[in-house]
Amino acid sequence: MMFFRKIVAKFAEWLQPEHKLVYVDELPRNVKDKTIYIVGDVKQPWLLAFNCPCGCQNLIQLNLLKDAAPCWGFKVNKKNKINIYPSVWRTTGCESHFFVRKGKIDWVRGYESYRKTKGFLSFWK
């Protein structure tokens, strides 16, 4: 059964809608789901922000400034899909650990990720 669940989880990850990218000067009060906000100057943004993909409703904010730690980087490809590196690992709350690759969430933990994508699966019902 574990194996099957892993397949389902992988399938769910594959099917998930990609995150939209929005460039903003300031982070809006109401952050939409499935949207990654790139905050600051288009050429030199200082923050990435998005709702935690596990559905816990926490806002994840990733610092892009190299003189502060921890610091993340990102790349947007020609199809406007974002890669974020390194992975995002929340040490508090839901403790989600995932990569953002091509605008999609790539969960790090196996079965744990199945549990977290359940919310996503219900989205597709």
Nearer to Zn ion, 59 or 65 (CB): 59
The C-alpha atoms of residue 104 and residue 93 are separated, in whole angstroms, by 21
Q: Quote the least distance from Cβ 107 to Zn ion, whole Å.
A: 11
CB within 8 A of 93, min separation 6: which ones? 52, 56, 58
Tokens, residue 72: 């993340």
Q: Does residue 84 touch Zn ion according to CB under 5 A?
A: no
Q: Which position among 52, 88, 100, 105 is part of the footprint of Zn ion (CB under 5 A)?
A: 52
The C-alpha atoms of residue 1 and residue 32 are separated, in whole angstroms, by 35
Q: Which position among 39, 62, 64, 96 is part of the footprint of Zn ion (CB under 5 A)?
A: 96
Query: Residues in the site for Zn ion, rule: CB under 5 A?
Result: 52, 54, 56, 94, 96
